[in-house]
């Protein structure tokens, strides 16, 4: 019988709503947070480009089971468009491909904004993670290949012009659904205005259900992270106190606040923990629900469905 590998790290669970700095990749950020918390498991809910700053929700432990729900959540970005040039990457890093001396005024910009709200067709940037015949578009683009990326539907709830800067740039705020490319928005608006444009600055400020008040910086995390200490003569390191660091976590269940939630008794919770269905009692108990959460003593226990008054677990969480 094969020996089960011992998991490395602490069984810590929860969300770190990282204010990712520019220049750091999403994978790098996850690795850093996992190391700081000495967590067994970590993952993020939606890649944020290295050139962008802002909200990168990072799940630890049991919270990784809720990542798909946050990935599907609404995003809010604040971004700055520089007019007069189009770049092959649609951001400030790429090569200039088109130029114009025209600069749009406020009225011209406001006039086109309704064209970019609701359900719209958007062509992702050449330098994007879209897969073309099994290859990432950005890999093909770096090799000099011109790729035909088909447009796709994206949902944009709102797009607002926030300010016109003294340098002639325009600052916008957009609330959008999964799969929207803000770089493509800047490119398309620039083309419609006849002046071209690219993203000069990009910051993600919300990923539903998390908001700006949930932000925590790397500096804040590092300031309370316990030091490793010196090993003794046997090479054993002293235990570390992670309590101050763990206080900065947001509980796992916060990612599922939009789902209906029902409390269970200890007996029901035991059955669910074993993967068994339970009958929900009470006058207000629902008969059928596609997706709900159940809790035990206020803690998230499982996600599942209700069918004919029975809760059937699909994903069970470890309750600490």
List the catalytic residue out of 19, 49, 90, 214.
49
Asked if residue 187 lies in contact with residue 198, where contact means CB atoms within 8 angstroms, the answer is yes
Q: Nearest Cα to 186, choosing from 52, 39, 308, 14?
A: 52
SS3 43: strand
Spatial separation of the C-alpha atoms in residues 294 and 101, rounded to whole Å: 59
H-helix or E-strand spanning residue 187 = helix 182-193
Mark out the alpha helices in 144-296 (DSSP H runs): 182-193, 218-224, 243-246, 266-273
H-helix or E-strand spanning residue 108 = helix 106-112
Q: Check if 49 is active-site.
A: yes
Asked if residue 225 lies in contact with residue 104, where contact means CB atoms within 8 angstroms, the answer is no
How many helices (H) does the chain have, and how many strands (E)? Answer: 8, 17
Spatial separation of the C-alpha atoms in residues 310 and 103, rounded to whole Å: 62
Could you tell me whether strands 53-60 and 42-44 are parallel, antiparallel, or unpaired per DSSP bridges?
antiparallel
Spatial separation of the C-alpha atoms in residues 175 and 77, rounded to whole Å: 7
Spatial separation of the C-alpha atoms in residues 261 and 252, rounded to whole Å: 14
Backbone angles phi and psi of 62, in degrees to 5 = -60, -25
Asked if residue 26 lies in contact with residue 44, where contact means CB atoms within 8 angstroms, the answer is yes
Alpha-carbon distance values, 179 to 27, 257, 309 (Å): 19, 22, 36
Residues classed as catalytic: 49
């Amino acid at each position: 019988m094969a020996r089960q590998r011992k998991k490395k790290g602490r069984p810590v669970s929860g969300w770190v709503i990282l204010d990712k700095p520019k220049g750091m990749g999403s994978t790098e950020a996850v690795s850093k947070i996992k190391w700081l918390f000495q967590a067994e498991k970590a993952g993020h809910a939606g890649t944020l480009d290295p050139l962008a700053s802002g909200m990168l929700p990072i799940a630890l432990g049991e919270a990784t089971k809720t990542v798909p729900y946050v990935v599907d959540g609404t995003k809010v970005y604040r971004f700055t468009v520089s007019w007069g040039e189009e770049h092959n990457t649609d951001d400030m890093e790429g090569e200039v491909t088109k130029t114009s001396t025209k600069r749009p005024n406020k009225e011209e910009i406001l006039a086109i904004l309704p064209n970019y709200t609701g359900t719209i067709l958007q062509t992702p940037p050449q330098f994007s993670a879209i897969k073309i015949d099994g290859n990432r578009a950005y890999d093909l683009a770096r090799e000099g290949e011109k790729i035909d990326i088909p447009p796709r539907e994206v949902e944009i709830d709102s797009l607002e012009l926030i300010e016109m800067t003294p340098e002639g740039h325009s600052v916008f705020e957009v609330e959008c659904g999964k799969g929207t490319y803000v770089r493509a928005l800047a490119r398309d608006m620039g083309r419609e205005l006849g002046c071209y444009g690219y993203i000069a600055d990009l910051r993600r400020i919300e990923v539903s259900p998390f908001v700006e008040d949930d932000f925590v910086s790397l500096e804040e995390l590092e300031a309370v992270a316990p030091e490793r200490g010196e090993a003794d003569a046997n090479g054993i390191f002293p235990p570390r106190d992670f309590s101050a660091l763990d206080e900065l976590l947001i509980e796992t269940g916060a990612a599922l606040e939009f789902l209906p939630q029902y409390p269970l008794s200890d007996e029901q919770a035991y059955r669910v923990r074993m993967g068994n269905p339970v009958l929900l009692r009470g006058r207000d108990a629902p008969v059928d629900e596609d997706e709900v959460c159940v809790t035990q003593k206020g803690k998230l226990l499982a996600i599942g469905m209700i069918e004919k008054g029975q809760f059937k677990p699909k994903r069970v969480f470890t309750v600490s």
